[in-house]
Chains A and B, each alone.
Chain A
Amino acid sequence: MLEAIMSLGGIGLSAAVALGFAAKKFAVEIDPRELAVLEVLPGANCGACGYPGCGGYAKAVVAGQAGPADCPPGGAGAAEKIANILGIAPVSADPQVAVVLCQGDNAKAQAKYRYLGLHDCNAAQKIADGPKACPGGCLGLGTCARVCPFGAIEMTAEGLAVISREKCTGCRKCVAACPRSVIRMTPLDATVHVLCNSTDKGALVRKYCQVGCIACQICKKTAPEAYVIENFLARVTYEHHQLAAPAVEKCPTKCIRDFVDGYPEGSSFAPPTCGVAPGAAA
């Protein structure tokens, strides 16, 4: 009995000494600044910075390989704090937000065929370029909503992805997941957008969508600096987005929308208080 206690205890003791020694000898030194940076990051491990998780980014920032403003979810707030920790001048992060450039839900846009397969946009796109008649419209099967780590995307009852401007951190995961490139990154302070992604001619667009851009040029005439029309599709030139608002009223198909007025029909997102990122101002 005693022998057993002695021998087991002995093994335990020697192992403890050995492990304790190894822990001291092979200890990895962590830069305290790295821990401090990690503290101010959102901790979503979304990968938007291009590094493996927040830990990877913190390491890269301290090593000088990444800038303090490279964490889109952290926004300007995190950028400033990181700059303080590193003792460098704060760099202004240009906050961006993802926008679904389409309002053609199942009620407003025509379908080519009835899709019965896997509930996934990438799978649907493989079958005859997707069930929507419009080649660029939102397929509405929610692949983007599923990849969003921040719960910023909701699918309306009629099958349209809508992105909350307050919850979106600009991590771009939805942009990568969308097979139709209907989601684009835009400056957060630009609230007016042309919500259409069809490059077909106007006559064709009219056939399959009630709210598609028909390239009628009215927006461009109303606010010449704020709009360009390429491939039969109008776009806001975001350098001059402040001038874009007057065209919202004039657009005959109502495909230009000012998000200050609220989100597309069917969305439960409340209209944003103003066009500023939470935590960015004040």
Chain B
Amino acid sequence: MKLKTFPGGLHPPDNKRWSEHKPIETCPLPEELVVPMAQHIGAPAEVCVQKGDLVKKGQVIGQAKGFVSVPVHAPSSGEVVAVEPRLHPSGKALPAVVIRPDGEDRWVEGLEPGDPEALSADQLREKIRAAGIVGMGGATFPAHVKLSPPEGKKIDTLILNGVECEPFLTADHRLMLEQPDDVLAGVDILRKVLGVSRVYIGIEANKPDAIDLMSQACTGRGIEVVPLEVKYPQGAEKQLILAITGREVPSGGLPMDVGVVVQNVGTAAAVADAVLHGRPLVERICTVSGPLVAEPKNLRIRIGTPLAHLVQFCGGVKGEPAKIIMGGPMMGSAQLSLEVPATRGTSGLLLFGAGDVPLRSEGPCIRCGRCVQACPARIMPTTIAAYARLDFISEAEEYGAMDCIECGCCTYICPATLPLVQAIRYAKGAILAKRRKV
């Protein structure tokens, strides 16, 4: 049978064997938890504790500022030792709350188990917002916003994203294998909030064990598991919708324009935790891997754990790191230091040595068109990048720069090693700046 997929894309070596058979381990608490207030797309939370305060696990330490914002919670009980700017995964020093755990890890009082049957859709949505749940795939878009479609947008399909197409990462894979019940409980809640009956779980065909297990667990629940072709970026929202439903999200549109909401499997598990146990989002699953990590692992980590602590728990490094990547190798962001804390979007931590990151200087474009073939958004990366370099911003916009999903396929495939996605990202920034001005 031919597996479903989307046009374009490519096949980077997946390197998942290093961690895909490692069960999730719980990472011990570090000496200091650094909890940044900016851990989601949208307005950062506002600190509401002071230095010297004693906090309990799950207590709100940052309040949401606006609709596209969620509160931030203490990942463990302990003392607030500093409220100051600390180095953030974005590379800037941003406001953070530093907590020294007392080791007792006591939950804050007042966390009530909830019954999703008895709660209304609005109450469920409010619980999800209050628990600080964001897209766990790495984009960290607040979940409640996606679950609140505006009037007139009819949602008829929910897609669970268990694709995990980024090389090295195996966190979602292990989650589906070890906690299928949590994922499905989350699906039931999401389904109720959106009022949809059609639910799909998309899983790439390189996880046959997860496909089997989820299919079994889904029988009789009205959820269809869809095996998908192994191809990057199969897990990108718009590509996933096209592969599963055949619907194409229009240029400049959102999934809700074609009646679909996509949520990551990790988000579903977090939703279940929030509603069934009343627990806010204070931990997540993260893959620590890469050629330089002594023992690659899948870890359950506290938000705010410094990356150095994670590496230490995985047996340390086998040499001098030349590149540290938070997230996957295709779309993750390079880090300046291992002192940076893990955030809600930290799906992976990858360490590479100097020999693993060959650097070639860029050559001239030879017009081979491979970037155009690989582009899943079906735009012309080479043309847009050329315009971006010349600062011809309106031409770049005309050629669909805003449709770029920044998957990096063009840059990966380019035989001349041109920084195509970087140029398009620059053009996108310039287009947005121009729109703000006008």
Binding site for B on A (CB under 8 A): 112-113, 116-118, 120, 122-123, 126-129
Contacts and interface: CB of A to CB of B under 8 A. Distances in A.
Contacts of A127: 91
A141 to B, nearest CB: 12
Contact of B422 (A112, A113, A118, A129): A118
B434 interface: no
B404 to A, nearest CB: 15
Contacts of B359: 116
Contacts of A128: 90-92, 336
B92 A123 contact: no
A224 to B, nearest CB: 33
Contact of B429 (A116, A117, A126, A129): A126
Contacts of A113: 334, 336
B91 A112 contact: yes
Interface string B418-438: 010011011001100000000
Contacts of A120: 389, 426
A120 B385 CA distance: 13
Contacts of B422: 117-118, 123
B419 A116 contact: yes
B226 to A, nearest CB: 36
27 contacts: A112-B91, A112-B336, A113-B334, A113-B336, A116-B359, A116-B419, A117-B419, A117-B422, A118-B388, A118-B389, A118-B419, A118-B422, A118-B426, A120-B389, A120-B426, A122-B426, A122-B429, A123-B422, A123-B423, A123-B425, A123-B426, A126-B429, A127-B91, A128-B91, A128-B92, A129-B91, A129-B92
Contacts of B90: 128
Contacts of A112: 91, 336
Interface in B388-420: 388-389, 419
B30 to A, nearest CB: 23
B339 to A, nearest CB: 13
Interface of B: 90-92, 334, 336, 359, 388-389, 419, 422-423, 425-426, 429-430
A126 B426 contact: yes
B69 to A, nearest CB: 22
Contacts of B419: 116-118
Contacts of B388: 118
A226 B5 CA distance: 69
Interface centre among B336, B388, B426 (most CB of A within 10 A): B426
B92 A118 contact: no
A187 B295 CA distance: 62
Nearest to A147: B391
B75 to A, nearest CB: 24
A121 B422 CA distance: 13
Contacts of B429: 122, 126
A206 B50 CA distance: 31
B406 to A, nearest CB: 12
Nearest to A143: B391
Contacts of B91: 112, 127-129
A238 B175 CA distance: 64
Contacts of B389: 118, 120
Interface centre among B91, B92, B334, B389 (most CB of A within 10 A): B91
A113 B91 CA distance: 10
Nearest to A129: B92
Interface centre among A116, A117, A118 (most CB of B within 10 A): A118
Nearest to B429: A126
A62 to B, nearest CB: 29
A117 B423 CA distance: 8
A127 B421 CA distance: 13
A29 B65 CA distance: 59
Interface centre among A112, A128, A129 (most CB of B within 10 A): A128
